[in-house]
Amino acid sequence: MLKLLACLLMLIDHIGFYFADRLPAGAVLLMRATGRLAFPIFAWMLARGYKRTRNPLIYFVRMSAFAVFAEFAIRFAHNLTGISLDGTNVLVTFALAIVLLTGYHLATHAYLDMVASLRPIAPTANTLPTPSRFDLRVNPGGLSLDPRIGLPVGIVVIMIAVAATLWLKPDYGLFGLASVLVFYIVQEKAEEQNQQKRTLQAFIVLHALFLPIRLFLEHWPADWAILQCLSILAIPLCYRFDSRKRPKALLKYFFYFFYPAHIVLLCLLRNLL
């Protein structure tokens, strides 16, 4: 349900983008404003998906493969329509976000294994003899790796994700990476009953940090930079329509095909009208 909602919001946004010169200005503004809610939902689901996955490498390879496929499809469609855009598509952002989360996990979850010992109550006359202690191997961070290795390796992986983002210039850029990281940290650290509140607070802070960057360093138009803040409204939707059940295979891969397909269809439709 949540993924379908995000796809619908994205479709509305892209209709406003590709037909901006053929629709009333008010309608275009409303569509683009509505579309601001799509990315945070996808970013939130990616963070949750990373938290659930048993193999981040496969997750990254799958995302990267679809990102390459989408890039070729979108560039083909844009060439047909005469549209020229810098940078790469949002699936590249998500693939690099997986790299970023892996670096964060290495840097913060690497611990040496420890041994926890349990000592049973002394046996009585009517009980069988018991061992003097039970030893159990545990790892506080869940990643059996010397932190002297995990921390520097994690930092390097994070730097690679950031550098690749600056080079490839995917949609949402560093803000996109930071959004996924913020959502992941909240899902990991905050208690379940407080997650929506903490996510909302963290996302507001993130926008407060990036708004001056967009205005004064990247020189975005003021109205467009401020419009991005509407994406904060997506956070309640993430928790309102969240499903604890794992999605079926068809729905799981629906977005990966829908994303490039709907852009190609919109570009073809623009050529026909």
Q: What is the pLDDT of residues 239-273, one digit of tens each?
A: 888 766 666 767 778 899 999 999 999 999 999 88
> What letter represents residue 30's amino acid?
L
Q: Taking the domains of the chain in order of start, what are their residue ranges? A: 2-101+166-272
Contacts of 119 (CB under 8 A, 6+ apart): 132, 133, 134
Could you give the C-alpha distances from 40 to 3, 37, 75, 192, 256, in angstroms and in order? 11, 6, 24, 19, 16
Contact 202, 182 (CB under 8 A): yes
pTM: 0.87
Contact of 13 with 34, CB cutoff 8 Å? yes
pLDDT digits (tens, 9 = 90+) for 39-89: 999 999 999 999 988 899 999 999 999 999 999 999 999 998 888 888 999
- Residue 170 carries which DSSP code? B
Q: Are 144 and 114 in contact (CB under 8 A)?
A: no
Secondary structure in 3-state letters for 201-252:
HHHHHHHHHHHHHHHHHCCCCHHHHHHHHHHHHHHHHHHHCCCCCCCCHHHH
